[in-house]
A = this chain, B = another copy of it.
Amino acid sequence: MLQEGARTELLRILGEQGFRDDQESRITHSYDGTPMLQALPDAVVYPVDTAQVSAIMKVLARHRIPVVGRGSGTNLCGGTVPLEGGVVMVMHRMNRILEVDLDNLTATVQPGLITKDFIAHVEGLGLFYPPDPSSMAISTIGGNIAECSGGLRGLKYGTTKDYVLGLEAVLPSGEIIRTGGKLMKDVAGYDLTKLLVGSEGTLAIVTEATLKLIPPPAAKKTMLAMYADLYDAARTVSRIIERRIIPATLEFLDNPTIRVVDAYAGLGLPLDMAAILLIEQDGPPELVERDIGQIEAICREERAVRVQVAESAEEAQKLLTARRSAFTALARLRPTTILEDATVPRSKIADMVLEINRIAAKHAVNICTFGHAGDGNLHPTATTDARDQDEIHRVEAAFAEIFEASIRLGGTITGEHGVGVVKAPYLEWKVGAAGIEVMRAIKSSFDPHNLLNPGKVFAKETRKRVVIDRG
Residues of A within 8 A of B (CB): 101-106, 126-127, 147-148, 150, 154-155, 158-159, 161-162, 171, 175-179, 181-192, 194-195, 197-199, 203, 214-216, 238, 241-242, 244-246, 284, 286-287, 343-347, 372, 374-377, 410-419, 423, 427, 430-432, 434-439, 441-446, 457
Q: Within the oligomer, what is the number of copies of this chain? A: 2
9 smallest beta-carbon distances between A and B, as pairs: A215-B244, A441-B445, A103-B347, A185-B415, A184-B375, A194-B194, A182-B345, A188-B430, A175-B434
With both chains docked as a complex, state the minimum distance between the C-beta of A9 and any C-beta of chain B, in angstroms: 22
Q: Which residue of B lies closest to A77 (CB)?
A: B187
A437 to B176, CA, bound (A): 12
Identify which of A148, A162, A177, A414 gathers the most chain B CB atoms within 10 Å of its CB: A177
| Known contacts A147-B187, A187-B416, A343-B186; is-contact A195 B198 (Cβ 8 Å) | no
Q: Tell me whether B439 and A190 are in contact (CB under 8 A).
A: yes
| Known contacts A101-B347, A181-B345, A431-B179; is-contact A191 B186 (Cβ 8 Å) | no
Task: Out of B183, B246, B435, name the residue touching A179 (CB < 8 Å).
Answer: B435
| Known contacts A103-B347, A177-B432, A345-B104; is-contact A185 B150 (Cβ 8 Å) | yes
With both chains docked as a complex, state the minimum distance between the C-beta of A390 and any C-beta of chain B, in angstroms: 30
Chain B neighbourhood of A372, CB < 8 A: 185
Q: Tell me whether B188 and A241 are in contact (CB under 8 A).
A: no
Q: Tell me whether A102 and B178 are in contact (CB under 8 A).
A: no
Task: Out of B176, B183, B188, B423, name the residue touching A345 (CB < 8 Å).
Answer: B183
| Known contacts A181-B412, A431-B177, A446-B438; is-contact A197 B191 (Cβ 8 Å) | yes
Q: Tell me whether A376 and B184 are in contact (CB under 8 A).
A: yes
Q: Tell me whether B343 and A189 are in contact (CB under 8 A).
A: no
Chain B neighbourhood of A427, CB < 8 A: 188-189
A412 to B181, CA, bound (A): 8
With both chains docked as a complex, state the minimum distance between the C-beta of A178 and any C-beta of chain B, in angstroms: 7
Q: Tell me whether A376 and B183 are in contact (CB under 8 A).
A: yes
Chain B neighbourhood of A287, CB < 8 A: 284, 287
Q: Tell me whether B190 and A442 are in contact (CB under 8 A).
A: yes
Q: Tell me whether B185 and A416 are in contact (CB under 8 A).
A: yes
A411 to B195, CA, bound (A): 20
With both chains docked as a complex, state the minimum distance between the C-beta of A341 and any C-beta of chain B, in angstroms: 8
| Known contacts A187-B416, A345-B181, A415-B186; is-contact A215 B246 (Cβ 8 Å) | yes
With both chains docked as a complex, state the minimum distance between the C-beta of A435 and any C-beta of chain B, in angstroms: 5
With both chains docked as a complex, state the minimum distance between the C-beta of A308 and any C-beta of chain B, in angstroms: 26
Q: Tell me whether B198 and A184 are in contact (CB under 8 A).
A: no
Task: Out of B188, B246, B417, name the residue touching A419 (CB < 8 Å).
Answer: B188
